[in-house]
Amino acid sequence: MSNVRIAIVTGAARGIGAAVAKRLAADGFAVAVLDLDEPAAKLVAEAIETSGGHALAVGVDISDESGVKAAVQRIGEELGEPTVLVNNAGIIRDNLLFKMSVDDWDAVMNVHLRGSFLMSREVQAYMTKSGWGRIVNLSSTSALGNKGQANYASAKAGLQGFTKTLALELGKFGVTVNAIAPGFIETEMTAATAQRMGVPFEEFKNARAAQIPVARTGVPNDIAHAVSFFVSEDAGFVSGQVLYVAGGPRA
C-alpha cells in the first residue's frame, strides 16, 4: 500500500461526493468516505471495495472540531496518511433575506466554511509533512449571487477566498488548492429544491437545461472528472483557481 495516495472526500455518502469518491478510487486512490450519514457512507465504501478499490467509511460532522480531529486521525491509522482532501459536504437552507433565520445562516456557514476550515487545517499537517498535497473545495455558481441563497452564496463565495489563500500559504509545500463551482447538478440536493418549489424534478431539470449553453443539466460525474484532474500528479502547476463546471461560461 505504500505508493497508494490517500484521499478524503467529505459529504461522500451520496450525490457529487459519492461520484468523486468512486472516481478517485478508480484513479487508484484509497478513499475515506466521510459523511454525517454513516450507514449511507458505508454503502459507498462497500461499492468501491466491490469494484476492486480500497475505501473506509467514516461518520462525522465536519463542523465539529473534536470529531474532525478524531476522524482524520482514524483515517491516518486505518487507511494511511491523507494527502488529498475534497471539501464537498454541503447543505442548503434557502429563504429570502427577510425570512432567513439566524439558525439557517449559521447552519450553512458551519458546514461549508467552518467544516472546510477544520478539515483543511487537520489534513494539511500530513500534506506539508509529505511535501505533496491536493485540496479541492466545492464552491458553486451561486457564489455569483442567487436569490433566496444569501447564506449559501456567501459561504460559496467565501470558499473561493479560502481556496486562493490556502493556495498562497501551502504552495511551497507542494500542495495545490483549487475550487470547482458547479452549475445545476442532478442530486438529492437539487431534487429537494424542486420538491420545495412544488415542481416535478423532470420539469425542473428541463427548465434549467433550457438556460444552459450545452443544453443539459449536469450529473455528479461531470464534477468528479474535474476533481480527478485537479488532484492528478501532473496538475501541480494549477493552483488557486476556480473552475466553473456549469455547461457554459460564468464568472
> Which of 64, 67, 52, 9 has its CA nearest to residue 34?
9
Site string for ligand NAI, 55-94 (x = CB under 6 A): ------xxx------------------------xxxx---
Find the binder of ligand NAI among 7, 9, 15, 123 (CB under 6 A).
15
Distance between CA 50 and CA 52 in Å, rounded?
5
What contacts 118, CB < 8 A, 6 or more positions away? 62, 63, 64, 65, 68
- The residue annotated as part of the active site, out of 29, 117, 126, 152, is 152
Nearer to ligand NAI, 15 or 53 (CB): 15
Nearer to ligand NAI, 8 or 167 (CB): 8
C-alpha cell at 183: 452549475
Q: 152 an active-site residue?
A: yes
- 243 to 35, 144, 182, 185, 239: CA distances (angstroms): 24, 13, 8, 15, 11
Q: Does 16 bind ligand NAI (CB under 6 A)?
A: yes
DSSP characters over 57-69: EEE--TT-HHHHH
Find the binder of ligand NAI among 120, 178, 187, 239 (CB under 6 A).
187
> Which of 169, 167, 137 has its CA nearest to residue 155?
137
Nearer to ligand NAI, 130 or 193 (CB): 193
Nearer to ligand NAI, 43 or 171 (CB): 43
Per CB under 6 A, residues contacting ligand NAI are: 10-11, 13-17, 35-37, 61-63, 88-91, 111, 115, 138, 140, 182, 184-185, 187-190
Residues assigned a catalytic role: 152
